[in-house]
């Protein structure tokens, strides 16, 4: 019985192994390219901080390997983000054999919208949210109170903020897919609106690591995205038997 089960699962195991290798190699390649551009990317991330306060024109690091490790972490994060479309496509392609022909055609649509929403969230965080947050935080700096932000901690802060917004902007996409898959009725999103609003606030608080200002700036657009998800689910998320 066990031998037969293993024999049946073997093709799926090989398929999963092949797709995981593709994902792994894509992440490695993207991370390697990102490391070659890590200094330019770091300068791009530093620009909003320098613009937020005239008192800051450089960052510091206190541990000898900190700068090197910061570039490595930054490159890995950029590699993961750049590999996002490939990861989504490989995941969808793995489950596609069990889907109908018309559902297989959704692979391109799934990858496209998942990538667009993630990029939109990360861009919104970098161009709209981050400058306001940094300007507020730097308002506490005075000639008598000098800020000395650490290089590694600042890059982690920027990357965490962009990643949190990018993942959170996937909410409308996940709502539509849940409706199409029949996991939840589209009308349930409308009926349980306030429960989901509470969950959004908690999620925003966790994703921003307890930063109340960042929590508010993440939760408010997520409320709008949730309402957009309700609207889109009513149009595109109807589950067909």
Tens-digit pLDDT string for the chain (241 aa):
444 544 444 556 787 888 899 999 999 999 999 999 999 999 999 999 988 887 788 888 888 888 899 999 889 988 988 888 888 778 777 766 655 566 556 666 777 888 888 888 889 889 988 888 888 888 887 778 888 889 988 988 888 888 888 888 888 877 877 776 667 776 788 888 888 888 888 887 877 766 777 788 888 888 888 888 888 777 765 554 4
- Cα of 158 vs its chain's centroid, Å: 12
What is residue 91's predicted lDDT score, i.e. its pLDDT? 76
Radius of gyration of the chain (CA): 22
DSSP H helical segments within the chain, as ranges? 2-36, 38-52, 66-82, 84-95, 101-104, 106-124, 130-138, 151-168, 171-181, 186-191, 193-207, 212-236
Give the integer Cα–Cα distance in Å for 45 and 100. 44
Helix axes 2-36, 66-82, angle to 10 degrees: 120
- Report the C-alpha gap between 187 and 236 in whole angstroms: 13
pTM: 0.75
């Amino acid at each position: 019985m066990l031998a037969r089960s293993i024999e049946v699962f073997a093709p799926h195991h090989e398929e999963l192994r092949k797709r995981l290798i593709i994902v792994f190699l894509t992440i490695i390649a993207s991370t390697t390219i990102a490391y070659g551009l890590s200094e330019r990317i770091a300068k791009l991330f530093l620009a909003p901080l320098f613009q937020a306060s005239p008192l800051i024109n450089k960052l510091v690091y206190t541990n000898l390997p900190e700068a090197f490790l910061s570039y490595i972490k930054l490159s890995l994060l950029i590699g993961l983000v750049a590999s996002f479309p490939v990861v989504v496509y490989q995941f969808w392609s793995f489950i596609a054999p069990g889907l109908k022909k018309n559902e297989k055609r959704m692979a391109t649509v799934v990858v496209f919208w998942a990538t667009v929403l993630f990029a939109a969230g990360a861009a919104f965080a970098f161009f709209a949210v981050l400058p306001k947050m940094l300007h507020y935080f730097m308002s506490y700096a005075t000639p008598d109170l000098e800020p000395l932000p650490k290089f590694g901690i600042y890059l982690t802060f920027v990357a965490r903020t962009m990643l949190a917004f990018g993942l959170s902007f996937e909410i409308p996409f996940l709502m539509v897919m849940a409706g199409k898959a029949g996991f939840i009725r589209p009308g349930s999103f409308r009926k349980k609106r306030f429960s989901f609003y509470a969950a959004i606030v908690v999620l925003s608080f966790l994703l921003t690591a307890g930063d109340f200002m960042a929590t508010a700036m993440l939760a408010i657009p997520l409320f709008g995205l949730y309402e957009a998800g309700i609207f889109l689910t009513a149009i595109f998320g109807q589950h067909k038997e």
